[in-house]
Structure 1
Amino acid sequence: MSTEQIEKFQEVVEIPKGVTVTLKKHMLHFQGPLGKTHKNFRNIPVNIEVKDGKVILKSQGYRKRDYSILHTARSIIRNICEGLITGYTIKMKIVFAHFPITVKVQDKTVLIENFQGERSARVSRIIGNTKVVPKGEDVILTGEVWNDITQTAANIELRSKVKDKDHRVFLDGVYSYEKKKGIEK
């Protein structure tokens, strides 16, 4: 294999100013202006090195699959660094036809009450340091880690899914309609 092909299986991620990254075994610890977080790379087959304000990623193999895993790890690190500087926001809309749905936050859970007239609330889990704020017809999710925010939004959307009815007619639920960089107040 030529040196050009081997260099293809190595990526360098520049760490932005204001963010510090430390490596302990397979765990990368990030600290920035908006807070701190960590990511475990134990199950991702990539060799990681941190030096001189850069994260150096090397693939453990030389196949197409290893190449795609390398780029996934690069994207995860970039998103976390970017999130610690600017943050992310997802807006969700509460949609109902007859029974008014209310969304409440309790500890690390989101309660979707009165969904299609149900007596008990549907419960969805909040992942990581995601902040969930219900404002009238909207639910605003903010945080530093993109994966945590999108997973929390997906959990809320799945918990408010209509079952055993025609989903083209019964459109009740909580749906995301805007995703953007930056934390909205």
Structure 2
Amino acid sequence: MKQDMKEELLIPENINITIEGGLFTVKGPEGEVKRTFHNPKIESKIDGNALVFESKKATKREKKLIKGYLAHLRNMIKGVSQGHSYKLKICSGHFPMTASVKGNIFELKNFFGETVPRTTALPPGLNIKVDGQFIIIEGADKEAASKAASLMELLSRRPGFDKRIFQDGIYIIEKDGEPVN
């Protein structure tokens, strides 16, 4: 059944949100994140210190979209106020691997004794530190930080080999300070 729907998200004091034609810009002490949320049936506006999404005669599709927009905006607000961090561990048995970051290029050397280093391009706007066998990724954008972590993990994959035996690689061990099982 179609009903009118109205959802609010309170904006913290040190956060500034602007809306320009579906482009949401969230600014805070840790940086700035931009993202486009546009649907002709959903109206978005800033009312005082709250962000309001409204839809007249909303179907379940609009309800899902509004809840998704709110979840993304909560992540954006958390990112610009506290930041998002991922921690990865370099695990190597026989051949010691070394990792380095030069600009937006991540380089993995001596993976299973390979002579040619493996490289991948990382998303911009992240602070990446390699500290011994740990890699720490920090940034305001959760999607960019998680994409960088997954690209590093995928770079050290060996398709066609048994994962139970060949366990060397880079693995995510913490997401936003919480350990990964």
Please state how far the C-alpha of 1:81 moved relative to its aligned partner: 0.8
The answer to whether the 8 A contact 1:13-1:54 is kept is yes
Alignment of 1:36-185 (within 5 A): 36-42=32-38, 46-59=42-55, 62-180=58-176
Q: Residue 6 of structure 1: SS of its match in structure 2?
A: strand
Structure 1 unaligned residues grouped into runs of 5+: none
The answer to whether the 8 A contact 1:44-1:69 is kept is no
Number of aligned residues? 177
Q: 1:111 and 1:174 mapped to 2: Cα distance? A: 12
Instruction: Report the RMSD for the aligned CA atoms in angstroms.
Output: 2.1
Task: Give the structure 1 partner of residue 30 of structure 2.
Answer: 34
Please state how far the C-alpha of 1:42 moved relative to its aligned partner: 4.1
Matched, 1:6 2:20: no
Q: 2:102 and 2:55 mapped to 1: Cα distance? A: 42
Please state how far the C-alpha of 1:167 moved relative to its aligned partner: 1.3
Q: 2:59 and 2:137 mapped to 1: Cα distance? A: 38
Structure 2 unaligned residues grouped into runs of 5+: none
Percent of matched pairs sharing the same residue: 26
The change in CA–CA distance for 1:25 and 1:89 in structure 2 (over 3 A counts) is same
Q: 1:103 and 1:58 mapped to 2: Cα distance? A: 48
TM-score, length basis structure 2: 0.88
Q: 2:41 and 2:133 mapped to 1: Cα distance? A: 43
The answer to whether the 8 A contact 1:45-1:69 is kept is no
